[in-house]
Chain A
Amino acid sequence: MRATIHFRLNGRDTTLETDGNRRLLWVLRSDLGLTGPKFGCGITQCGACTVLVNGNPVRSCQYPASDIEGTEVTTIEGLAKGDELHPLQEEFADRGAFQCGYCTSGMILEAYSLLQRNPHPTRSQIVSGMNRNLCRCGAHKRIVEAIEAAAARL
């Protein structure tokens, strides 16, 4: 069913004409030219496609496009303020909290949402908060450390 969808994408008013049953991930990647959200599993199990809808992390691979009507959608491309990286981005970059980088967009957005809800999480809260995001390279140790370091700065 074709629909006109109005929402804010990374701070900009956006209008989209498409079938509202399509998945947000493919709409973002194909129609809106973003490549930060990644396809990983297609069934909400890995977190590579994570974006924020009204500040909450959602798995865009299963999220219907029609559900973003009237919301604020943030992808990794919208996290930095101009050239100024978010502290999470800086800490991930400087601490080597990635290897192949494919899960990184989702990791950072999930961590962003975690710190919004709990600005000073304990290590075990970070572990449980991040546990649904998968990384195959094994950067977990540094991801936890990067989130701790960013939390200390925020």
Chain B
Amino acid sequence: MNRNDLGPMAVDRRDFLKFTGGGIAVFVTLKDHDLFKEALEQQRGYPSDFNAYLRIGEDGRVTVLSGKIEMGQGVETSLAQEAAEELRVPLGSIDMVMGDTDVCVWDAGTWGSLTTRVFGPALRRAAAEAHSVLLDLAAERLHVPRARLKAENGVVTVVGGQGRVTYGELAKGQKIQRTVRGKVEPRDVKDFTVMGTSPKRFDRIDKVTGKAKYAGDIRVPGMLRARLLRPPAHGATLKSVDTKAAEAVPGVVVVNQDGLVAVLHEDRDTADRALGMIRANWDTPQSTVDDTNIWSHFLQVAPTGRTAHEAGSLDAGARASTKVFEHTYYDGYVAHAPMEPHTSLAHAEGDHITVWSSTQSPFGDQRRIAGTLRIDESKVRVITPYVGGGFGGKSAGQQALEAARLSWITKKPVQVMWTREEEFFYDTFHAAALMKVRSGIDAAGKVQLWDYNVYMAGTRGSEVLYDVPNVSVVSHSSRDAHFFATGPWRAPGANDNTLARECQMDIMAAAAGMDPLEFRLKNATDPRLRSVLEAVAKLSDWKAGAAPTGRGYGIACGLDAESYVAHVAKVAVDKASGEVKVEGMWCAQEMGIVVNPEGATMQMEGCITQGLGYPLMEHIRFRGGDILDKNFNTYRIPRFSDLPEIHTVLVKNDGLAPKGGGEPAIVCIGAVIANAIFDACGSRVFTMPFTPEEVLAGISKPTGA
């Protein structure tokens, strides 16, 4: 049994009580709940003991403790809304404690748009149970049957009678710990007073005044800033190192132990300077694989593949098709490039260590640090202040390990704040990928065949979505295919699979002489998919016509984190230069019950704006393990001048529990821009990022029609 299976069983419950002092603590477990079976399976290692935890203090304030972290997505506020709703307390009486391994419930990590759809229900049930406990206590205190009581704004009153008692009064002198099985149903959407509204974010004042603390803003007396010696390329080995000159700098501490070479000083400038004095010789392997030929390398090393989706038979599909289309789509490596570089401050004291970390996985950091230092996990506390952007890239925790090792060795508090060059070098990039599609339509414009092979992107977003009777989706993935680290990047792989599907649909629509929206609707019966397509058409005032119309409008749709999205893009293509300017983006998203509409909208806008990068400008240039793009001077990300007008709409579906919102609206951006480019100028582009050269080549030799 591994640590994941144990979950928080390893945490002594008394630790929680010690922390809570007086008051009421409610733990909720959901493992017997059918409702959560699928969600819990998705979240490998989700605790089987308890899944949410909150406490009501003697002052009536409610503390919600969550292993999730806040990296800009706004869950600090939206989770508090969910707790306030079920507890019947004002939102302002909720205190959020997030990502602190000493006091929060174990959590694998903040990714996959799982916070709202998996942790949210657990939290709501914990709060609903707490509400129930409080009513029991009030009934006892007020000597009235529970059925006559009503709680509102943190106060229990007798309906049509005398008597009132506050939550704080009920919690006073109590030391109640309840572990419940989540049998109390959360409130119905029609009764919502806090969920479904858009209160101001909790972090707003701290973030506009500079008070918000990130890992790099934590100060411990005597702390040293560390710089580490880095190889010139991935795969390079250190032959020799000379640290003498650095050692001579007053106040500099040099560490050279088991491959870890670092200089530390109380100010960063001096550490920077000392690092520059280290002389190192490296053996660097040479490679001919680079960002221009990586895809043929993939085809050489790719494993046979694993079938992800299957239906009917490909032969039958080919026979039923009057037209068959074969295309290959390509994507390069993309950086996460959060504005905050990976940063940790580690403070070793005696036999234990505290690490403040910019991480999406505090419990992952804790496990890795304990393993590396060979100490018990209970001796490692990871605290997560605000995280300055993650997008999947702050899951590996390398900088936390580095800080922890250096602090353990030097017995001093040590801050490791990566330079931007380190950030690019050690990024767990979005993997380059290619997608091969063979598809066919019959004379009526119905898709009959979908034969799909994806290399390195994985299967997320590879659902066919449309009603296709003959399907084969095969994924070929191997981590060994890469020369450096790759990992999850906002909706991992879904950008690529959606690109291939939605461009291929457009190609088929054009060949059938049909409007691309009409073609999609003709092949889709999924009501949620249809609802977002229809909503985005309305929002953008979609004008039907077979592409290319010359107007520059494209459409695409997708599914991610159980939410449906559809986009329309308007582009202008300079037919002389091939330059593409995105002028407008429209997006409709259906995500079940919306906890915080404004927060969800901000995520959609963020996905759209960030999402302009991967299809239009972002890719990492490299040769073997040598990363050639090292900073923002050559790696261009979307900026103000790239900003199109953005319009969004949330499609109402209150019949469905809340679904994910952090990632869905980014998955279509590549496809919708490609389709808009085709509509503008008749050029089909297949390789992200789409270059003016590729656009121009397509204009002179139209493809896809």
Interface residues of A (CB under 8 A from B): 19, 21-23, 26, 29-31, 33-43, 45-46, 48, 75-77, 79-80, 85, 89-90, 92-94, 96, 98-105, 108, 126-128, 130-144
Contact = CB atoms under 8 A, between A and B. Distances in A.
A43 B209 CA distance: 24
A46 to B, nearest CB: 6
8 contacts: A30-B268, A40-B420, A76-B208, A96-B599, A100-B388, A104-B208, A127-B641, A137-B72
B341 A93 contact: no
A131 B205 CA distance: 24
A90 B607 CA distance: 24
Contact of B200 (A45, A94, A128): A94
B643 A40 contact: no
Main secondary structure of the interface of A (DSSP, over half): loop
B204 A94 contact: yes
A77 B219 contact: no
A120 to B, nearest CB: 18
A28 B602 CA distance: 32
Interface string B301-340: 0000000000000000000000000000000000001111
A102 B640 contact: no
Contacts of B606: 99, 137-139
A93 B640 contact: no
A41 B420 contact: yes
A137 B337 CA distance: 10
Contacts, number: 175
Given A140-B640, A141-B646, A144-B640, A45 B609 contact: no
A30 B210 contact: no
Given A19-B269, A130-B640, A142-B602, A89 B388 contact: no
Interface string B222-234: 0001000000000
Contact of A89 (B209, B419, B599): B209
Contacts of A37: 210
A141 B210 CA distance: 21
A100 B207 CA distance: 8
Q: Which of A46, A75, A128 has the most B CB atoms < 10 Å from its CB?
A: A46
A48 B402 CA distance: 24
B221 to A, nearest CB: 12
A38 B341 CA distance: 10
A143 B602 CA distance: 12
Nearest to B607: A138
Contacts of B209: 36, 76-77, 79-80, 85, 89
A46 B632 contact: yes
A35 B339 contact: no
Nearest to B611: A138
B271 to A, nearest CB: 10
Q: Which of B71, B340, B386, B646 has the most A CB atoms < 10 Å from its CB?
A: B340
A40 B72 contact: no
B637 interface: yes
Given A19-B269, A40-B420, A103-B339, A96 B598 contact: yes
A141 B201 CA distance: 18
A22 B71 contact: no
B50 interface: no
Given A99-B73, A100-B340, A138 B208 contact: no
B341 A39 contact: yes
Contact of B339 (A38, A93, A128): A38
What 5 A-B pairs come out closest when comparing CB atoms? A36-B210, A138-B609, A100-B72, A102-B388, A101-B207
B631 to A, nearest CB: 6
Contacts of A80: 209
Contacts of A141: 605, 609, 643, 646
Contact of B338 (A76, A136, A140, A143): A136
Given A92-B204, A100-B338, 5 more contacts: A26-B269, A35-B217, A98-B207, A102-B389, A135-B339
B213 interface: yes
A45 B637 contact: no
B217 A99 contact: no
B631 A43 contact: yes
Nearest to A108: B208
Interface residues of B, number: 59
A138 B638 contact: yes
Nearest to A46: B632
Contacts of B73: 99
B49 interface: no
A101 B213 CA distance: 10
A127 B602 contact: no
A26 B267 contact: yes
B288 interface: no
A27 B420 CA distance: 19
B605 A134 contact: no
B290 interface: no
Nearest to B609: A138
Contact of B208 (A98, A127, A132): A98
A96 B608 CA distance: 16
Nearest to B601: A96
Interface string B377-398: 0000000001111010000000
B641 A128 contact: yes
A108 B213 CA distance: 17
Contact of A99 (B266, B602, B633, B646): B602
Contacts of B641: 127-128, 131
B442 interface: no
Given A30-B266, A99-B602, A136-B389, A127 B643 contact: yes
A103 B212 CA distance: 12
B121 to A, nearest CB: 24
Nearest to A103: B339
Nearest to B635: A45
B395 to A, nearest CB: 16
Contact of A101 (B203, B268, B598, B637): B203
B428 to A, nearest CB: 16
B267 to A, nearest CB: 5
A131 B640 contact: yes
A47 to B, nearest CB: 9
A39 B631 contact: no
Contacts of A33: 219
A131 B216 CA distance: 26
Contacts of B214: 35, 38, 102
A77 B216 CA distance: 17
B208 A100 contact: no
Q: Which of A94, A130, A136 has the most B CB atoms < 10 Å from its CB?
A: A136
Contacts of A76: 208-210
Contact of A100 (B71, B607, B632): B71
B210 A43 contact: no
Contacts of A104: 207-208
B610 A136 contact: yes
A42 B269 contact: no
B208 A93 contact: yes
Contacts of B610: 136-138
A134 B340 CA distance: 11
